[in-house]
Each structure stands twice: as structure tokens, then as C-alpha cells.
Amino acid sequence: MAERVNNFPPLPQFMRIKPCFYHNIEEEIPAPHMQLVRKVYILWMMYSGTLCMNVISCIAWWAGGGGATNFGYSLLWVILFSPCSYTCWFRPLYKAFRADSSFNFMSFFFIFFLQCVFAIIQTIGIPGWGTCGWMATVMFFSYNVGSAIVMLITTLLLTVVTVLMGLVLLRVHRLYRGGGGSFEHAKEEWSSGMWKNAPVREVGFNAVSTAQGPTLPQYPAAVPSYPDDTSHW
């Protein structure tokens, strides 16, 4: 049986640190949900890029007369939330669609809801919290217009990302509930231990992949069959 080598995050070969995850949407995600998972992945990249832009905006904020505290917090947010957002809410969604796991769906809903709340706080932009949101940007226009314009770019990006996060949360929840998923399914997976037996559940998939090349996993019949994701958002 061929072993799938971790390929994410893509790191140079000379580094001693190796990738932690196997990421292949085309191979592992069922075709009806491939587009949705790909969009959520793009959303994660947008959020990470926005956090990087927030660092630049906080430098402009600092240069225009703002405090250094915002710059320090902006570095903390990009270092903390870029990898954690991938691990804590994108991977559960990825595994949920890959193996029809109600437990991973519930993990995604819980963590991604907290992510949406934090994104709203970042968009508001409370001064001293390290994000160039609306409150901080509008207030700074009276101090330094040039810095405030740079801050406005991050504010607009945060607003777009926050709105898209809300749409994703609603879309995935409607898809999950439409397929008959519920909290009871997640509790059954937890009590039976199926949530941590993903390699066992994917033995058939790996065997077929070895013999016939990349294909889609065979899902257990006891798990809800989610409707096709044909709508646009």
C-alpha cells in the first residue's frame, strides 16, 4: 500500500522541519463538495494575507503617531492565527467532507463560530488591540491622513473576509442539516471512537488508490449523505 507523504505546508527540501498534513482537495474531497472546500481554503489564504497586510498597516499607524502596542499585537495575530486557523477550522472541515464525520463538522462549527466573532472584533478595530478596523481607522483620519488610508485598506479587507466567513458558516450548516446531520451523530462518533479512527475508515480508499490511482473514498452508509453543493455564494 502506497503511503501518502505529507505535503502541506510546502517547505524547502533543505529545512529539517517537514510538512505536517496531506492536502489534496482534488483527490480526497468528493466532487460535489470540492468547490466549496476549495473556496474555504481560499478564504483561509485571504484571512492570512489580511493579517499580513494588517502588520503593514500597523507600521503605518505607528509611523503616523500611533502606539507600538498595535504593531506588537499585529505580529502576534499573524503568527498565531495563520497556522491555527488552518489547523483548527479548515482541517476539521476538510476531514468532515473527506470522511463524512459529524464530529469534525461539529468541531468546525464551534471553532469557526469563535473565529467569526473574533473577526468581527477585528473589523470593529478597537484601538490597542492590534487591528486596523473601522473605529481605529476613522479616528486616525484626524491625526494622519496618509497612515489612515493605509489602515483603510486593511479595514476593507477585514470587512470582506468577515462577511465571507459568515456566508461560509451559514452555507456549511445548511448543507450539513440538509443531509440529516445532527449533534446526535457527533455524540455517536465520540462515544464509539470513530472520530479518531480515520486511518481505519480510509483503508478501502487507500487500497483502491494504490491499485487504480487517485479516486474518491467510499463513505460508510450510516453517515448522512449531504446534498450536492450546486448553489453559488
Residue 143 CB partners (closer than 8 Å, separation 6+): 64, 65
pLDDT at 205 over 50: no
- What are the tens digits of pLDDT across the range 172-181? 998 887 765 5
Q: Residue 125 in contact with residue 136, Cβ under 8 Å?
A: yes
SS3 (DSSP) at 79: helix
Q: Which residue in this structure is represented by grid cell 505607528?
A: 62
pLDDT tens-digit series, residues 54-99: 999 999 999 998 888 999 999 999 999 999 999 999 999 999 999 8
Domain-embedded: residue 64: yes
| pLDDT for residue 41 | 96
DSSP string, 139-186: HHTTT-HHHHHHHHHHHHHHHHHHHHHHHHHHHHHHHHHHTT--HHHH
Instruction: For residue 220, give every residue at least 6 positions away whose Cβ sits within 8 Å of its Cβ, in sequence order, or none.
Output: 100, 201
Report if pTM > 0.85: no
Task: Let me know if residue 105 belongs to a domain.
Answer: yes
Q: Is residue 1 part of a domain?
A: no
- Of 208, 198, 227, nearest to 27 (Cα)? 208
The answer to whether position 225 is within a domain reads no
Q: Give the torsion through C-alpha atoms of 176, 182, 183, 186, to 10 deg.
A: -70
pLDDT of residue 222: 40
Structural contact between residues 37 and 30, judged by C-beta atoms closer than 8 angstroms: no
Which cell numbers hold the place of 121?
Answer: 472584533
Does the residue 45 lie in any domain?
A: yes
Q: How many domains does the chain have?
A: 1
Of 102-106, 161-165, 185-189, 223-227, the one with minimum mean pLDDT is 223-227
Cβ neighbours of residue 91 closer than 8 Å, sequence gap 6 or more? 21
The dihedral sign for the CA sequence 126, 122, 144, 63: positive
Task: Tell me whether residue 156 is in a domain.
Answer: yes
Q: Which domain holds residue 85?
A: 32-197
**Is 177 among the domain residues?**
yes
**pLDDT tens across 101-136, in order?**
888 898 999 999 999 999 999 999 998 899 999 999
Give a yes or no: residue 107 inside a domain: yes
At residue 42, does pLDDT exceed 90?
yes
Look up cell 456549511; give the residue: 172
Select from 212, 214, 221 the least CA-distant residue to 22: 214
pLDDT exceeds cutoff 90 at 226:
no
